[in-house]
Structure 1
Amino acid sequence: MVSRRTFLAGSGAVAAGGLGWVQSSSASAATGETARRLLPSCNRPTHLHYGDVSKLSGGDQTLLTTLQGVVNRSRPELYFLFSPGGTDGVDARWLRNTGVPTTQYADPLDLVARYKNRVRGAILHDPAVPDSLNIATTLAGLENAVVADEAQARTHGLKVIKDLRGVFDGDRVKTYRWQLANLFPRCSHQLLAGLPPTMVVQAENLTWHEIARETRQIRDSSNRGSYTLDVSPALGKEAVYVRFQDSFGDDGWGPSVTSVSAAANGTPLASFLVNTPEEVPYLFDGLNSSIGGEANRFSDGGGYFIHKFTPPAGTTSLTVTVEMWNQYLVTATDTAPTRVEPFPYFRDYVVATKSLVSWLPPNGPTGELLKAHFDAVPPTTPYAGWFSNDVAGEWSGVDLAAQGGVEVLPADFYMNGTVHSGVVAPISDKVRSFTPLKPANKIYVTLTFGEGDNVQYCQRRMRDLWDDPRRGEAPVNWTVSPLLADIGPALLSHYQRTATKYDLLICGPSGAGYSYPGAWPADEVDEYLKLSGLYMRRTGMNLVYAYNHRENNAWVPFSETIGRSYAEHTPVRGIIQSWEGGDLLVRRGGLPVIGNFSPPGKAAEYKAGLDNHTKDWTGTAPMFIAGGVNAWSWTPSDVADLAKLLTPPYELVLGNAFFDLLNRVL
């Protein structure tokens, strides 16, 4: 493979964390190239000690995942169940699939005592400075230590290797600039990681009072207005928490709010515009929301945002007035609905690989420092984890990474990565065969579950979808990451082996790692697509669901140059361009590129959207529609329901037959 990326074989294995890490070469049968692993993989586990950590605090989970990283670096021995459901949970199902002998611990914290002799001690993070948790994680990998607070170190008898309390202040840029200068030279340079230092945990047994609900599916702001809401039913304790969420969580058109004011017993209590300094004291939880082009805070699907108001003692009437529109559901409670805890996930893999981990929003001064991280590594180095600020952070972060020649591996909720990377399983490089169809004057539809670039989705949500008993009733394409060949070969093997004739695995956006090819430097984009071609051939994929890049808040179609690079360096037979209205159908580099069409709602409404989209079809030539399926709200059962509605002239087909037809008639 031609790449300026440095693969640290030999002595680099030590730099990556010890001789337990596999970075061997393998031959690509399709190209004859020598292929190296993009992501380090651990040795094969022979026995796993495991426990259910789903009820533990984020702090205890962080202690265990960093212990897991040190221990599993040489050979995986520790595995944890994070998902609820016990033996039926996703983590338990994958553990059974490994076929590795196991020993269960009723109290997983007992594993600290069992393995304490394998670590040098603890790095204490500073609870007053959340970002110190990431600095502690980087140091834990370098010092063969765990991350803990003072109480945990004392409880478990851990020697304090480094105490970060009082070392850093709240200046995030200064903190991570220090880390880049002082710790990065000691780290492995095979991987950059981005993980939030904290997470919001839901409180249990809350009583939410419904205050207002939009019962119509409104997506055009036609109900925009000023609404005065009586939240007095939630009075009773020190504060009132007002939550805004989507009243129709399956179609992604949740509440939009621009301004908020509150009055206690008729006396003004608060007044602010969203996304201003004046909002900050009242925004209790905005992590699941985004800021729109009209300076509006919005949250779609399963997201929400919460404002907190603290009325004077004795208040008997509390009203909140908001300028709001779309599908809102407003509820209120008198109890803090969430708490903040350390974010524990994926830290085993970061510690084991001795990688640098940060959390830098991709805009402003933090974005400039994040760019400096990308500039410090060779092209096609992966950035594993995620970005802050939900969708806006995703677009800005992936774009910034692409400009820096870096592809993204969404992995912040990927659990037990050290184990899954080491489990050996057969991966087929054979492209799925199919029987070509004779073109007819029909409306050919192919449906695709998105999100497959996201390895945590492949590990968690996709497994639940895959286990739907109605999977296989209707043809559907499943995007997956070809990088699972490195970081989760047994996961990819399971999907390959258990796919029905109606399940087709295709490459998720936009190749070997999530990226926008059009944003890459012109002299480096071929390296990303060569890498993508290598992994697609290794995993038997020849279709891709892809993004390009954004200009002036709009997605730009693929250029001839990008299409030609896909055609030259990958086995792709066609491209579905996501985030496009469904009217794009062109050739680029000789490859058909079709826009993604995603009507809202479930089966009946989706069918109505298709009917409206095709109403001008004359029936004198075939028509082609690449239908997007929302992986977070749809299931194979929903796909099966839609398939029953797609009667002639519709014909539902898999992507291979779809693009074969398209290549012959376009």
Structure 2
Amino acid sequence: MKGRFILLGSLVVVAAAAVTAYFAWPAKSEGVHWPEGQALPTFEEPASTLDLMYTTDNFYYQAEDASFAHKTGKADGDGWLAAAGSDAPNVPMLDITDQTNIPAGENKAIVNMQVDSFANENGVVAKLEVLDQEAGMTLASLDVSNWDFKLPNASQSFELPFTVPEGGHSLEFRVQWTGKSTLKLFDVGISWALRKEENLVFTSLKGVVNKTQPRLYAFTDNVNGSTGTSWLASLGLAYKEEKDNWKLLDKYRSEVKGIVVYDDSQPDTVNLATTIAGLKDGIVAPPALVEKLTGDPYNLPILEDLRGDFTSKLEVYEFMLSNYWPKVTHRVIIGLDPSLKSYLRDYAMNLTAAVVWLNPKEPKESELLDKFLTDMPYGSGLYMGWWPDEGEGVKKTSDFGLATVASDYSSNLSVFSGTSREITVPELPKKPPLENKIYVSFILSDGDNLQYMEHSFKKFWDTPDRGEVPLGWTVSPLMVDTMPGILNFLYKTATPNDALISGPSGMGYTYPNFWKDGEGLDNFVTRTNDYMSRAGLRVLTIWNYVKGEITPEAANRFAEHAPSLLGFTSQFGTGKIEVYKNELPGQELNVSYGSTEGDLTNGIEAAIKKWDGKSPAFVAIQANPWQVSYQNFVNARDHYLSNTDVVFVRPDTYFQLVRESKGLPIEPNSSTK
């Protein structure tokens, strides 16, 4: 169904200076639907078959791709495996032929593979070759020996520099296996000088094309195994792979109005060019590709040429503030490092948003940034992307009544934002009887980060033994707008031990202690409650710096304006529980951001030592997903299997038990326990 959106009922409280800019931006721009009360827009339903393009720093050939020749071995999940003693030796385990999309000039092949064990004697495991099929010559060759690998069962990269002659010769990439050791081949990556700049061209092409209807999907990392399309498969979205991105410019050329050229000598003109391209339906062009883009067959006109116009970073953003900030939305601003070429820029263009990179730690940059932020709606505006410094950046937006949405490596928000907004939330499981036990709740952090949800989270969620231990998975309430299909998929595939809860601090990452306007914070909390209710989230994590307690004044506002919450956690690390306005329990986490399995068990051990056994005790432990694995949670739980006094529960159940222990109804606004 096209044109789907939900109009939220929460009030919008904005600073007077922001009113005109906030409401001046149209509620609909082509295929982007952005009702007044909605935090982020809804896009049209994605095309029945998406065009999949690669915007990785390297161009990858996946080893298990069935279209390539394999003379030995077999597919093995995310690679191709040749087993010593059983598979035929001295033949290609991968042979990629007739490749014409590699540009002329200096290039590099990067082959990623691993051996299962080290041999007692060194010897050649594989021969890597790059061949010019038309000239009948070898462009590069490398013998890889067993002892060239630093560790067994760990992926390692081997590089082959090679030069492609002019004229577009067909190339062949071959991995010859000797049979000496079991070898797993993951992929062959190709890099060339203009690869990142080309990726910027096609990322901005996606910004033009997907504004009308999402039709382009970008594979921007090599994490998800064979295709990098794991979410598409989960959502039932079909795609057609296109290995030559320039063919996509051929296909969608009629939708592009022209190019905006940035200045290599002033990197921040990349952000200015992105902002202008979003307004003018252009694509962002590096100087090195201007001749190609303006010549046959594309013949794209130059919409604006920024070369030589600026002598400093501040000049770039002062020009943006004066000339383009009045023309773009003020509901969202994008913070993006100019060196990031393949991420989020398309979404910024879809929203017609300004893209900046200003550091609050630098006085002049901070002063200029203030001029942008003061024009944004207090209590509802969002800063998407990221910061040069996390603490200073989030503090800055908090000072202006805004929230940060970590998303600088997001790749496909336009596609995900067009998926169905029908979210079916399962009922909470019945809580166990409250006893004199030590109740433990584990929480996995960082789900407020939209790029994490798009990329690394999926591998965590796909862990085969998920459901072994009760766990709170933090997600963003903004998934209602940006990833509704994924949110619904999580509920459909969740086990009874999986609880989705809100990451910091509701409608974005903010430090409530630093908000200067109480009415604006009330609005933020009201919107948070609204979106959390739509997303089925009953528990909130609130951050005030990475390890910061929440003030009673701020906590009371959550108690008053977020009536659906069962409870919230904060970051101070004491385990202390308070009840605010006799309605809402909040707990300072016992472990605020654990990084090892020991952090999980140490938090429990500390509670056991303090417990007198005469009343319930509550231990809330949060860990980060970058250093702690799902198995660490399982192992920590298993450590206490023989101790019947330690009970593991999901966070929503946990706060129901906390509420009961404090004499509160287990359901807010309910008279029965």
| TM-score, structure 2 normalization | 0.71
Shift of residue 11 of structure 1? 7.8
Structure 1: distance between partners of 2:599 and 2:514: 35
* Mapped contact 2:443–2:472 kept (Cα < 8 A): yes
Shift of residue 577 of structure 1? 0.6
- Provide closer, same or farther for how the CA distance between residues 487 and 155 of structure 1 changes in structure 2, counting only shifts above 3 A: same
1:533 aligns with 2:529: yes
- Provide closer, same or farther for how the CA distance between residues 197 and 566 of structure 1 changes in structure 2, counting only shifts above 3 A: farther
* Mapped contact 1:9–1:23 kept (Cα < 8 A): no
Counterpart in the other structure of 2:457: 462
- Provide closer, same or farther for how the CA distance between residues 410 and 130 of structure 1 changes in structure 2, counting only shifts above 3 A: same
Matching of residues 26-45 of structure 1 within 5 Å: 36-45=37-46
Structure 2: distance between partners of 1:148 and 1:352: 17
SS across alignment from 1:526: helix
Structure 2: distance between partners of 1:72 and 1:585: 47
* Mapped contact 1:532–1:570 kept (Cα < 8 A): no
Match for residue 587 of structure 2 among 594, 599, 602: 594
Structure 1: distance between partners of 2:310 and 2:23: 36
1:582 aligns with 2:574: yes
1:84 aligns with 2:77: no
Shift of residue 614 of structure 1? 3.5
1:122 aligns with 2:133: no
* Mapped contact 1:518–1:549 kept (Cα < 8 A): no
Counterpart in the other structure of 1:413: 409
Match for residue 279 of structure 2 among 135, 139, 142: 142
Shift of residue 431 of structure 1? 6.5
Matching of residues 29-68 of structure 1 within 5 Å: 36-46=37-47, 47-54=49-56, 55-56=58-59, 57-68=195-206
SS across alignment from 2:609: coil
Counterpart in the other structure of 1:3: 12
What do the CA deviations read for 1:545-593 (whole angstroms, capped 9, x no partner)?
111369xxx6233314532433433411101112x12332211233111
* Mapped contact 2:333–2:353 kept (Cα < 8 A): yes
Structure 2: distance between partners of 1:560 and 1:352: 38
Q: Structure 2: any 5+ residue segments left out of the alignment? A: 1-9, 60-194, 295-299, 663-673
- Provide closer, same or farther for how the CA distance between residues 600 and 381 of structure 1 changes in structure 2, counting only shifts above 3 A: closer
Match for residue 653 of structure 1 among 629, 649, 653: 649
- Provide closer, same or farther for how the CA distance between residues 11 and 74 of structure 1 changes in structure 2, counting only shifts above 3 A: farther
* Mapped contact 2:398–2:510 kept (Cα < 8 A): yes
Counterpart in the other structure of 2:209: 71
Counterpart in the other structure of 2:394: 398
The amino acid across from 2:371 in the alignment is A
Structure 2: distance between partners of 1:150 and 1:548: 43
The amino acid across from 1:133 in the alignment is V
Shift of residue 8 of structure 1? 9.3
Counterpart in the other structure of 2:141: none
* Mapped contact 1:123–1:160 kept (Cα < 8 A): yes
* Mapped contact 2:429–2:496 kept (Cα < 8 A): no
1:636 aligns with 2:649: no
- Provide closer, same or farther for how the CA distance between residues 437 and 458 of structure 1 changes in structure 2, counting only shifts above 3 A: same
Structure 1: distance between partners of 2:238 and 2:25: 31
1:194 aligns with 2:335: yes
What do the CA deviations read for 1:352-381 (whole angstroms, capped 9, x no partner)?
111001001122221222222111111211
The amino acid across from 2:529 in the alignment is G
The amino acid across from 1:645 in the alignment is H
- Provide closer, same or farther for how the CA distance between residues 194 and 450 of structure 1 changes in structure 2, counting only shifts above 3 A: same
* Mapped contact 1:517–1:549 kept (Cα < 8 A): no
Shift of residue 418 of structure 1? 1.3
The amino acid across from 2:569 in the alignment is I
* Mapped contact 1:602–1:634 kept (Cα < 8 A): yes
- Alignment RMSD: 2.3
Shift of residue 539 of structure 1? 1.0
SS across alignment from 1:433: coil
1:449 aligns with 2:444: yes
Counterpart in the other structure of 1:340: none
Counterpart in the other structure of 1:352: 350
What do the CA deviations read for 1:37-58 (whole angstroms, capped 9, x no partner)?
2101211112311122322532
- Provide closer, same or farther for how the CA distance between residues 633 and 601 of structure 1 changes in structure 2, counting only shifts above 3 A: closer
Shift of residue 196 of structure 1? 0.5
Counterpart in the other structure of 1:220: none
What do the CA deviations read for 1:117-162 (whole angstroms, capped 9, x no partner)?
2111111111111111000100111111111112222223332221
Shift of residue 597 of structure 1? 2.5
What do the CA deviations read for 1:173-220 (whole angstroms, capped 9, x no partner)?
332122111101111222111100015xxxxxxxxxxxxxxxxxxxxx
Bigger CA drift: 510-519 or 611-620? 611-620
* Larger-gyration structure (1/2): 2
SS across alignment from 2:330: coil
Structure 1: distance between partners of 2:307 and 2:534: 47
Bigger CA drift: 654-663 or 560-569? 560-569
* Mapped contact 2:589–2:622 kept (Cα < 8 A): yes
The amino acid across from 2:321 in the alignment is L
Counterpart in the other structure of 1:477: 472
1:610 aligns with 2:604: yes
SS across alignment from 1:133: helix
* Mapped contact 1:585–1:594 kept (Cα < 8 A): yes
- Provide closer, same or farther for how the CA distance between residues 499 and 88 of structure 1 changes in structure 2, counting only shifts above 3 A: farther
Structure 2: distance between partners of 1:146 and 1:125: 11
The amino acid across from 1:42 in the alignment is F
Structure 2: distance between partners of 1:353 and 1:394: 24
| TM-score, structure 1 normalization | 0.71
Identical positions, percent:
28
SS across alignment from 2:519: coil
Counterpart in the other structure of 1:509: 504
* Mapped contact 2:478–2:531 kept (Cα < 8 A): yes
Structure 2: distance between partners of 1:40 and 1:425: 12
* Mapped contact 2:35–2:41 kept (Cα < 8 A): no
Q: Structure 1: any 5+ residue segments left out of the alignment? A: 26-35, 200-342
Counterpart in the other structure of 2:548: 555
* Mapped contact 1:66–1:351 kept (Cα < 8 A): yes
- Provide closer, same or farther for how the CA distance between residues 570 and 59 of structure 1 changes in structure 2, counting only shifts above 3 A: farther
Structure 2: distance between partners of 1:64 and 1:181: 28
Matching of residues 358-373 of structure 1 within 5 Å: 358-363=356-361, 364-373=363-372
